Amino acid sequence: MPLASRFLYRSTRQVYTGHMILQPEQASSARSFAKATGSAPSALKGDEMLKGIFLEVKKKFETALGILQKEKITIDPDDPAAVSEYARVMKTVRQKADLFSESQRIKYTIESRTQGIPDARSYLLALKEIRIKRGLTDEQGAEAMMMDALEKVEQELKKPLMRNDKKGMALLMTEFDKINQKLGIRREDLPKYEEQLEFKIAKAQLEELKKDALEAMDTQKKREEFKDEEMPNVKSLDIRNFI
């Protein structure tokens, strides 16, 4: 659902989300999340189910570890090339280990939290709650524009807009298209927005790795036996040696 994904990539432009997930028939079953959680078939019970989950998680972990043991990662969040390479490695990990990306996780959250919500207003409020909880910002005021569009449609209908009201939803989608155009949002740009999101996540993770490495070296340097030793530059560290 590209419109939902757009909400994830830059929360300032949630209008696309409305186009797809506002439609109740578009909501995915929670079973779709089995891919990420490693859920065993429903026919299995008790210990068999737990064993299935454990083996699946173990398989994903070993796959991810195997990739990280082969790839060279440079801990330099200030170097765009290093960040891009780290993002590439993590994308490979997700693909090979069959894990959700950040955008897919948020998309699942949206689908699971909004599935069963009958009216458009409650749906939009649920989106806002999800955005706030995930620390996303709405710098362009997309949420207010969407609510204004909903107000306009409901005034025209003279009743609350339900998500199964095809005529009313078509009117709302038309209003959303106008907002998309105003904000400069295009469906064909969604892959680019996802790349931007993954780059930001990769940079944040490298910054955290750098912080942890510096703290570990500082702790090490305080020990008497390492007092006179010069600590290496974080950029020179090879993560593969510590896995």
- Tens of pLDDT, residues 191-226: 888 888 889 889 999 999 899 888 888 888 888 877
Query: CA angle 103-81-74, nearest 5°?
Result: 90
Closest CA to 13 of 192, 221, 232, 233: 192
| pLDDT higher than threshold 70 for residue 17 | no
Say which residues have a Cβ less than 8 Å from residue 147's Cβ, sequence separation at least 6: 121, 124
| CB-CB contact of 99 with 60 (8 Å) | yes
Closest CA to 38 of 51, 21, 22: 51
Burial class for 219, CB neighbours closer than 10 Å (0-12, 13-18, 19+)? exposed
For 93-111, the three-class secondary structure string (H helix, E strand, C coil) is HHHHHCCCCHHHHHHHHHH
Residue 173: pLDDT band (50, 70, 90) is very high
| CB-CB contact of 87 with 202 (8 Å) | yes
> What pairs with residue 162 in β-bridges?
119
Tell me the C-alpha distance between 139 and 204, whole Å: 20
Residue type, 25: E
Tell me the C-alpha distance between 9 and 89, whole Å: 20
pTM, rounded to two decimals: 0.63
High-pLDDT (> 90) share of the chain, %: 34
For residue 36 the two structure tokens come to: 């990420």
Considering only residues 17 and 240, tell me which one the structure prediction assigns the higher pLDDT: 240
- Provide the 10 A C-beta neighbour count for residue 77: 20
Q: Which of 50-54, 120-124, 154-158 has the lowest mean pLDDT?
A: 50-54
Phi, psi (degrees; rounded to nearest 5) at 43:
-70, -25
| pLDDT higher than threshold 90 for residue 125 | yes
What DSSP state is assigned to residue 39?
P
Query: CA angle 142-143-145, nearest 5°?
Result: 65
> What pairs with residue 102 in β-bridges?
none
Q: Which of 45-54, 99-108, 147-156 has the lowest mean pLDDT?
A: 45-54
